[in-house]
Amino acid sequence: MRKFFLLSLYLCSVNLLCAQMKIERVEPLSWWAGMHTPLQLMFYGKGLQDAEVRCLEKGLMVLKVHQAESKNYLFVDILVEDYARPGTYTFEFTQGKKKIKHSYIINARSEGSAQRKGFGPADMIYLIMPDRFANGNPENDNHKDAAEKANRDKPYGRHGGDIQGMINHLDYLQELGVTAIWPTPLLFDNEPRASYHGYACADYYRIDPRYGTNELYKQMVEMARERGIKFIMDMVPNHCGMAHWWMKDLPFASWIHQFPEFTRSNYQMASHFDPNASKYDNDLCVKGWFDTSMPDMNLTNLYVLNYFTQMAVWWIEFAGLDGLRVDTYPYSDKHAMATWTKNILDEYPHLNIVGEAWYPSPSMIAYWEGAAKNTDGYTCHLPSVMDFPLQENIAAGFAKDSMPSWGEGLMKIYSCLTQDFVYVQPNNLMIFIDNHDINRMAWLLKGKKDKQKMVMALLATMRGVPQLTYGSEVMLYNKNKQGHGEERLDMPGGWPDDERSVFTAAGRTKTENEVFEYTKKLFNWRKNTKVIHEGKLMQFVPVDNNFYVYFRYTDKELVMMAINNCREEKTIDWPRFSEITTGYAQGVDIITGNAVQIDSPLSLPPQQALVVHFKK
């Protein structure tokens, strides 16, 4: 009896010791042979501290094991040998006599993966807020792992839009002329309220289960590619969400920026380049939290920087992405962000990454261009930046159609573009009039369809990479209260019980169809018009501040864009434009298909745009 008791006690002790070491997570979830990016695995589980780690198969070598401050993490540097073959590898963890094993998958890369080409001036980007676009699978509206449940009655609640809804309408987007899709974050946001926007991530390696699965996301990207549509992932290295799983057990105290009490960012992004800025102000911009539910990541911690580099590379490789849009780019340490950006481009030299840098001045935007020669020597390596100054001036420029004061009306757009000299590559800027953070285009234009069409013509012909927000093609906007939740409207027809569907001509009103067809014609023409993708820009000072003509041109092609934002008819003054039109005789009005003869009388009705394509 005594021997049996001692044996039982021994077995219980062994089980207890073994239970003290357990792997619950490993990130990245998998990797690929032949990658340039170094691999550092983050293992999380019970009592991993001080464990020795080795790989049991040839092809992967453990270079170094790093201890965290938490006893439940290990960071392990892995060498993936040149001869490593795709397959399952086994890591063995040893603490004294305790041993556990964990399997890890190394995949084969897709052919040409490293040389993938990103989006650019030849594309039209369509911004979608997935929760508000279309509900293709009502069964995933709620999920056992998700704190917030669906309720379409709440402007700031979950409405049920998902990946399947986006898949269901890929043909609609193809018809419209979309060549790239930018959805706001699809990763798991598990905040108890307002989780629909996705910018407070709870798991960087998991698609929100209310949207679908990782595999369904990958399938959507593949289906879009079959239709000639690229995919851009919205990434947020600046902050996570309070509901992120690591917030209960941080690897290091310095994993996030912490203060004795809640401290918000001062949002003073100019402190990055202001030669007179105090370190105090810049630190507060970079280290303060974006919001109460968004802990600020410390990218100067090299483990954090490695984590976010690998996360970005993993999603690009796993899903076959064509680019990234980076949220709140200047709210992180600028040198860490430059390293993060360069790391990704070292793996994918031709990928495009566009950064959100919300400034009112072109000179401030230009600081974040990757090729900029800044006086302080800084470069962030970004291939593209969002052109907020042009957005503000387009919105303000079209607001008035009576005789505006000097410098007002379309003169605002002209004046903004005169500052293009500060940019290295203005053709790579993302241009737009609205997005998910700004009042909708139709609201800014007071619901006037003619103005909506003029702006569409401008976005289709202006230098840069145009971006439309979902529903702009049918003038979607909230006519009452304006706010993020209210303006991030559901797309009519995206839900099974909607009374009508704007995804079909039959479901659209006459006005909606008119704007849709106009937008569709513009952007389908734009797809194959190289002079718009590659041409230079020449603009002429707006007549009466509100009749504006500019040209896109190469040696062999010319596009004339004329915008009459006045209340009276305007006549094209051909001799005024002879320096750019010489050598051309006849062009085509791309909306009507009618011939346009240079030097022949031509008038433009009020509140109309004219796009003419000339070829030699």
Query: Is position 487 annotated as part of the catalytic site?
Result: no
Task: Supply the Cα-derived Rg of the chain in whole angstroms.
Answer: 27
Catalytic residue among 148, 162, 191, 327: 327
Main-chain phi, psi angles of 559, to 5 degrees: -120, 125
As a whole number of angstroms, the distance between CA 130 and CA 353 comes to 21
CA atoms within 13 A on the CB side of 266: 13
**Sequential DSSP letters for 517-530:** HHHHHHHHHHHT-H
Q: How far apart are CA 199 and CA 506, in angstroms?
A: 35
- Helix (H) and strand (E) counts for the chain? 17, 26
- At 531 the three-state DSSP class reads helix
Q: Are strands 595-597 and 586-589 parallel, antiparallel or unpaired?
A: antiparallel
Q: Up-side HSE of residue 414: CA atoms within 13 Å toward CB?
A: 23
Q: Using DSSP, state whether 13 is helix, strand or coil.
A: helix
User: In sequence order, what are the beta bridge partners of 105?
Assistant: 88
Apex 609 CA angle, 605 and 611, nearest 5: 125
The closest of 229, 168, 295, 218 to 29, measured between CA atoms, is 218
Residue of 123, 191, 356, 557 with catalytic role: 356
Task: Report yes or no: 457 and 562 within 8 Å, Cβ to Cβ.
Answer: no
Amino acid occupying residue 257? H
Rounded Cα gap, residues 500 and 509, in angstroms? 10
Active site includes 544? Answer: no
Q: Which residues of 213-246 are buried (b: 16+ CB within 10 A; e: fewer)?
A: ebebbbbbbeebeeeebbbbbbbbbbbbbbbbbb
Residue 517: other Cβ atoms inside 10 A = 15
The half-sphere exposure of 438 on its side-chain side, counting CA atoms within 13 A, is 19
DSSP 85: P
Catalytic residue annotation: 327, 356
